[in-house]
Each structure stands twice: as C-alpha cells, then as structure tokens.
Amino acid sequence: MSLTNAERQSLIDLAIEARRKAYAPYSKYKVGAALRTKSGRIYTGVNIENAAYPHTICAERVAIFKAVSDGEMEFELISVVTDNGGSPCGGCRQVMAEFGLDTIVLIADGQGRLVKEMTVRELLPEAFTPEHLEVDD
C-alpha cells in the first residue's frame, strides 16, 4: 500500500486531537491513536487509566476494539502519538497482529513528527496469529 505524506499527517493529526481526551491521571502519559480501516473508516482511541492500575487500557486497543465492535476487522494503518514518540506496548502489538501483519504503524511525537513507520510484522516478529490455532485433530 502506498501512502502519501498528506495521508500520514492526517492520521497523525487525528491521533493528536484524540489524545486531548486521554484519561491518564496516574501516569500522566497521554496516548492517542487513530486507525484507518480498509473500508476507509476512522476510529480513534486514547488510553484510559483506572485507580486499580491493571485495568488501564491503551489507546491503540481502544481504537481497534471500537472498530471491531463496529464490524470492522481489516485495517490499513494506525497512528500512535505520545509526547516522546513512544513505541506500542507488547499487548497492543499482539492485538494488532490478530487483525493482520501488514497493517502500517505510524509512531509520532507530540509535535506531530513521524518518528517511525513500520508494519505490524516488523513490530512483532514471529507473531502468534489465528493461523496457529488451525491445527488438525
């Protein structure tokens, strides 16, 4: 899939805008994500923390789960914005991998600068995917 710089910037800008609503009173580390499906729909997400810390959910998973709960399971790209251009956590990489290893991941900082662009396949080598469960019995 070929992406234009305008498309990249537009998805990063949507994640920056979404990030304003991040609920991160404990870590203060706000994350925003924007996901574009193959059908052209956009879903955004933010991290939502909880006083019982482990119940926190990451921005990427919120965006992906919003899409899936809407019946959308084929993704083109996802942008992730943090202050310092942080990388998606392992759990989010695994959830991304569930829906396709070719999804493009844009990692950007709080100024909207693209820090890294890679596929889920590159982010999570040797991923465990649904195909691994297709075993003969």
**Ranges of H-type helices in the chain:** 5-19, 59-69, 90-98, 120-123
- Which one of the listed residues 60, 98, 117, 126 is annotated catalytic? 60
Sheet containing strand 75-81, strands side by side? 42-46, 32-37, 75-81, 104-108, 114-119
Mark whether 74 is an active-site residue. no
The nearer residue to ligand THU, 58 or 67, going by C-beta atoms, is: 58
Residues near ligand THU (CB under 6 A) are 24, 27, 29, 31, 47, 49, 56, 58-60, 88-89, 92
Least distance CB 32 / ligand THU (angstroms): 9
Least distance CB 88 / ligand THU (angstroms): 4
In sequence order, the 6+-apart residues with CB closer than 8 A to the CB of 77 are: 1, 3, 11, 35, 36, 103, 104, 105, 106
How many other CB atoms sit within 10 Å of the CB of residue 22?
23
The nearer residue to ligand THU, 6 or 53, going by C-beta atoms, is: 53
Least distance CB 103 / ligand THU (angstroms): 14
The nearer residue to ligand THU, 36 or 88, going by C-beta atoms, is: 88
Positions annotated as catalytic residues are: 60
